[in-house]
Structure 1
């Protein structure tokens, strides 16, 4: 059993309004219109931890307010409960973040002998199969939406994860292969013979 693990970090809820240099130059569009209140503040931020079982496409995501070795170990405990017990070996592919090598993670690996951590090479994020899935999750949960709080982001991520798990499929590297219609036999130009005709 292989589990691919990564973090989508950080996700931020923010407002979108006009920059001050534009709002001072652009008058209201009609008489009596008021200028929108300018708000540039970021409201909340947090981190989403995720795990993927590539053999069946099932995923698990958990939101956290910040990242640390303690929260990473907590997430590993949740993943251990999530993975069926009949798998004897669990290979967790992780990046080289210092929290992944902390003493809490070492204690976790000693307490859970079926787990083995495989660290991907530096500058090789493409080897982590969960990275393309983050792109899919972002398009399902965040694309085209505006969030006012971290709780709204967490709810959107949970909803998108549930949607993915209901429609999951085995996850593989590379582009998704498109179904090509079978060509009908008929008259066709033979390659390299075009100049010989007529």
Structure 2
């Protein structure tokens, strides 16, 4: 991707994507031990809440700073709110948003919204090539920081965890570089001597 390696002068490249749905779920307390000292074998009761939360994320490639937004649905209005958040976070220059080709990203209302915001230009990645979006790598780190091993009771807890994880990840952000880094040189090479 040429936008990652040599972006146009005075522009900011943002990788954008949605994560979700993230569902609130609860688990019943674990059963204890029986009177004779054996573990009680019981089916696990599991409940999902009816609310779904989508997490919109945008990664600024040049410095690794991210912007996130939690929404109750994934539609054009929420995507436009997210684009507005990206525009507010990047007050200068042209903004190039690299994203996938979802219907909410290319809908008529989104295209009309983009006409009123000429600084933002969208670039769509090919279908089936999500690995071209650097936001996918950031999601992997985000999931470990905010979602791994946690049960959320409601969408407010998901929003809170998202906000805290984003602040923590931005505190240690580094530029995202496209491509595989060069291998480290081997300092100690083993030398074998074969005797016959």
TM range (shorter): 0.7 to 0.9
Q: Which residue of structure 1 aligns with residue 13 of structure 2?
A: 2
In 1, the alpha carbon distance for the partners of 2:165 and 2:180 equals: 21
Q: Is the 8 A contact 2:20 2:53 kept in 1?
A: yes
CA RMSD of aligned residues (A): 3.0
In 2, the alpha carbon distance for the partners of 1:7 and 1:109 equals: 19
Counterparts of 1:35-184 in structure 2, within 5 Å, are 39-43=45-49, 44-85=51-92, 87=93, 89-174=94-179, 183=187
In 1, the alpha carbon distance for the partners of 2:66 and 2:41 equals: 44
Note the C-alpha offset of 1:36: 8.5
Question: How far does the alpha carbon of each residue in 1:139-174 deviate from its partner, in whole angstroms, 9 at most, with x for none?
Answer: 001112222111111111111100011111001245
In 1, the alpha carbon distance for the partners of 2:137 and 2:97 equals: 17
Q: Which sections of structure 1, spanning at least 5 residues, go unmatched?
A: none
In 1, the alpha carbon distance for the partners of 2:100 and 2:175 equals: 22
In 1, the alpha carbon distance for the partners of 2:115 and 2:58 equals: 20
Note the C-alpha offset of 1:179: 6.3
TM (norm. structure 1) is: 0.80
Q: Which residue of structure 1 aligns with residue 25 of structure 2?
A: 14
Q: Is the 8 A contact 1:129 1:172 kept in 2?
A: no
In 2, the alpha carbon distance for the partners of 1:183 and 1:37 equals: 54
Compared with structure 1, are the counterparts of its residues 150 and 36 closer, same or farther at alpha carbon in structure 2 (3 Å cutoff)? Answer: farther
Note the C-alpha offset of 1:123: 0.3
In 2, the alpha carbon distance for the partners of 1:17 and 1:101 equals: 42
More helix by share: 1
In 1, the alpha carbon distance for the partners of 2:142 and 2:117 equals: 29
Note the C-alpha offset of 1:16: 3.2
Number of equivalenced pairs: 182
Counterparts of 1:185-196 in structure 2, within 5 Å, are 188-189=190-191, 194-195=193-194
TM (norm. structure 2) is: 0.80
